[in-house]
Amino acid sequence: MCGAESWTDHRLIVSKVKLRIQPKRRPQGQKICKRLDTTKLKQRETSTCLASDLHSKLKDIHIGESSVEDDWSTLKKTVYITAFQHLGSTKHRNQDWFDENDAQISSLLAEKHRLHRLTMNDPASTGKKAAFQNIHRKCQQRLRKMQEDWLSKKADEIQYFADRKDSKTFYDTISALYGPQRSSFFPLLSADGRTLITDRAKILERWAEKHPQPSQ
């Protein structure tokens, strides 16, 4: 905002804005189908019972008497319900050592947060501080035991794959345990010290300049 009377080009504007984020809307009346635990199909007894049950229930479906959409909906619903009864849904599997499904640690963490809030609201109270330190110690012990148990289980699992000579699953398990690896090369400054080299080929050339090979 320009002005000829000692005004600068900018003026500070202070405003109060009330923002409201709309919640994500879900389709009303529609239930999302859970994923089936297809790993149970490897069990011969489960796959045989499922095939037999599907064969008997599909006999009762009369295809062609209604529209194509209705026939497909009936077929899909019958197959899914039957498969769900035998296979069930997939369960959440943790990729790290912390198990959020553990009821004991969940209650301990909730109690810890509650006592922490009470301690922050009344920092002069020695009783609240002692209670918070006690629950904090219990949480640490439980979490350390959880981590040790998870690592021990992972070590046994990796050793099992190594004993079976299953190299693919062995390396896949190790990669999932350690996570993505960082790049093995780092940028270098150019000879004049003004430019940062990030290209891998140019980095190798720069290293060759800094460390020339001895002449024969």
Q: What is the pLDDT of residues 89-129, one digit of tens each?
A: 876 554 667 776 677 888 888 899 999 999 999 989 999 99
| DSSP-H helix ranges across the chain | 44-58, 68-87, 103-121, 126-163, 167-178, 200-210
Spatial neighbors of 135 by CB under 8 A, at least 6 apart, are 108, 111, 112, 115
Q: Is the pLDDT of residue 160 over 70?
A: yes
Q: How far apart are CA 50 and CA 81, in angstroms?
A: 11
When pLDDT is averaged across residues 184-192 and rounded to a whole number, the result is: 73
The mean of the pLDDT values for the chain is: 80
Q: Name the one residue in this structure whose structure tokens are 């500070």.
A: 12
Across 18-32, 39-53, 98-112, which has the greatest mean pLDDT? 39-53
Domain residues of the chain, as ranges? 38-87, 103-178, 182-210
When pLDDT is averaged across residues 159-188 and rounded to a whole number, the result is: 78
| DSSP-H helix ranges across 34-125 | 44-58, 68-87, 103-121
What confidence tier does 1 reach under pLDDT thresholds 50, 70, 90? very low
What confidence tier does 189 reach under pLDDT thresholds 50, 70, 90? confident
What confidence tier does 133 reach under pLDDT thresholds 50, 70, 90? very high
